[in-house]
Amino acid sequence: MAKLIDGKAVSAKVKAEVRAEADALKEKGIEIGLAVVIVGNNQASRVYVNNKKKACEEVGFTSFEYALPEETTEEELVDLVKKLNADDKVNGILVQLPLPKQINETAVINTIVPEKDVDAFHPENVGHIMIGDYSFLPCTPAGVMELIADTGIDPAGKNCVVIGRSNIVGKPMAMLLLHKNGTVTICHSKTADLKKKCAEADILVAAVGKAGFVTADMVKEGAVVIDVGMNRNAEGKLCGDVAFDECAEKAGFITPVPGGVGPMTIAMLMKNTLTAAKLANGIEV
């Protein structure tokens, strides 16, 4: 039976470390601020934004929230981002996705200055991640790396399989495992023999967005299984991409949903915002 990787416990540890550093900076007169922009009435987005505000309180950051109506134009949103770019009180800027259809997400992300892009979505930050010379990492993949580290298993030389190729999770996840000397395979909807490739993985990361997609026959005995999925099943219950009960019988380590990767994403956002504040004040990171 797999050992459970407790995302709540690991995220609490990360946030405690961030809090200690934020308190030390406060004593030097440095306040840390995170601006979160939400457009429209997406309920899931509202939950995420509330969780981010709560995390800011926990670590001692100032949280600036900008809730804009559904009919906000792209120009209005871009203008707001430009103002936040120029605001010294704001160290990190996060625009909650998805945005309403009249707004081009890429145009908005590209407007955020790279040094305040705490989601690490800006092309300049993505380029830095590719070459391994980065200040920020995308929050979810960075959180996954913390969870893998918590197992004590080193990705070096291991077969690492990532299911999913999104710009937010799949692609950067593969790069981070590669930076740790893992042998990485990215699987997706066009992959031949997907089950076979997954079943060879020492570390399997599922980020495909389909409830129960990963079944026990796709899991190698003793593997580390990380479930990034956040879905609702037929009964409306929150579940991941991994069929948890059957895969837990074979895996060595496994993350639950909820309580696995989710808390880590917000903890790493706090860590990125701390890094942004340090860089803005000429403090080594």
pLDDT digits (tens, 9 = 90+) for 214-236: 999 999 999 999 999 999 888 88
Q: What percent of the chain has pLDDT over 90?
A: 95
Which of 96, 116, 227, 278 is the catalytic position?
96
Alpha-carbon distances of 196 from 77, 157, 211, 221, rounded to whole Å? 46, 19, 20, 13
Q: Would you kindly state where each structural domain of the chain is located, as residue ranges?
A: 29-113, 139-262
- Told to judge if 227 belongs to the known catalytic residues of this protein, a careful annotator would answer no
Which pLDDT score, from 0 to 100, does residue 236 have? Answer: 83
Of the candidates 172, 74, 68, 85, the residue with the CA atom closest to the CA atom of residue 121: 172
- Are 146 and 10 spatial neighbours (Cβ–Cβ below 8 Å)? yes
- Told to judge if 15 belongs to the known catalytic residues of this protein, a careful annotator would answer no
When pLDDT is averaged across residues 249-261 and rounded to a whole number, the result is: 97
Same fold, 29-113 and 139-262: yes
Which of 15, 116, 117, 119 is the catalytic position?
119
- Token pair for 59: 């670590």
Q: How many CB atoms lie within 10 A of CB 15?
A: 20
Terminal alpha carbon distance of the chain: 39
Q: How many CB atoms lie within 10 A of CB 74?
A: 16
- Told to judge if 96 belongs to the known catalytic residues of this protein, a careful annotator would answer yes
Which pLDDT score, from 0 to 100, does residue 141 have? Answer: 98
Which of 52, 171, 180, 278 is the catalytic position?
52
Which pLDDT score, from 0 to 100, does residue 44 have? Answer: 86
**Cα separation of 182 and 150, whole Å?**
16
Q: pLDDT digits over 110-131, tens only? A: 999 999 999 999 999 999 999 9
Our measurement of the distance from residue 281's CA atom to the centroid of its chain's CA atoms, rounded to an integer in Å, reads 25
Query: Please, what is the average pLDDT of the chain?
Result: 96
* Superfamily of the domain at 29-113: Leucine Dehydrogenase, chain A, domain 1 (3.40.50.10860)
Is domain 139-262 annotated with CATH 3.30.420.40? no
When pLDDT is averaged across residues 242-266 and rounded to a whole number, the result is: 97
